[in-house]
């Protein structure tokens, strides 16, 4: 006798769902990491402009126009940084949501796997008991005295 799990299709579907959810989670996490790098680059550019502005003010006589342009850039750049921070918060929520979905899918798959293991153990136990019963019957048949030979 061979063990056949009645919920094998469900288990396969759960594994497929886990793989899809894992892929979605990793894609969103990679998107989040890319946006974090983008924010870090924006902050780095802002600091470079601030340093350049300081150098212009301390090292040049006609610095007013340059500094005014830098200040305009910085004010716009601060708005872009704020927008990027808002985007990161939204992405963080999405990543957390996908993490919860993945955890739920993993839990469901594990439950079905545990059920499969329990069913297989019960099957093996029942098969062993059946085999032992058959062996006992064979032994009792051999030890039974024949009708006319006693």
Q: Tens of pLDDT along 54-75?
A: 888 888 777 788 888 889 999 9
Q: By CB neighbour count within 10 A (0-12 exposed, 13-18 middle, 19+ buried), where does 25 fall?
A: buried
> Can you tell me the distance from the alpha carbon of 8 to that of 140, in angstroms, rounded to the nearest whole number?
40
Q: Which two tokens stand for residue 8?
A: 């094998």
> Can you tell me the distance from the alpha carbon of 23 to that of 132, in angstroms, rounded to the nearest whole number?
48
Give per-residue pLDDT as tens, 23-57: 999 999 999 999 999 999 999 999 999 998 888 88
Q: Which two tokens stand for residue 2?
A: 């061979």
Cα distances (Å, whole numbers) of residue 141 to 47, 121, 134: 94, 30, 11
- pTM, two decimals, is 0.72
Q: Which two tokens stand for residue 96?
A: 């957390």
> Can you tell me the distance from the alpha carbon of 84 to that of 90, in angstroms, rounded to the nearest whole number?
10
């Amino acid at each position: 006798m061979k063990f056949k799990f009645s919920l094998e299709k469900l288990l396969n579907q759960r594994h497929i769902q886990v793989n899809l959810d894992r892929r979605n989670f990793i894609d969103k996490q990679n998107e989040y990491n890319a946006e974090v790098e983008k924010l870090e680059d924006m902050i780095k550019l802002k600091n470079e402009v601030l340093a350049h502005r300081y150098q212009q003010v301390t090292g040049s006589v006609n610095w007013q126009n340059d500094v005014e342009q830098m200040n305009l850039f910085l004010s716009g750049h601060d708005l872009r940084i704020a927008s990027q921070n808002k985007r990161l918060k939204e992405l963080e929520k999405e990543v957390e949501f996908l993490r919860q979905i993945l955890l739920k899918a993993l839990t469901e798959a594990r439950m079905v796997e545990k059920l499969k293991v329990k069913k297989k153990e019960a099957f093996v136990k029942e098969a062993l008991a059946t085999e032992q019963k058959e062996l006992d019957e064979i032994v009792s048949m051999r030890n039974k005295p024949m009708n006319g030979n006693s």
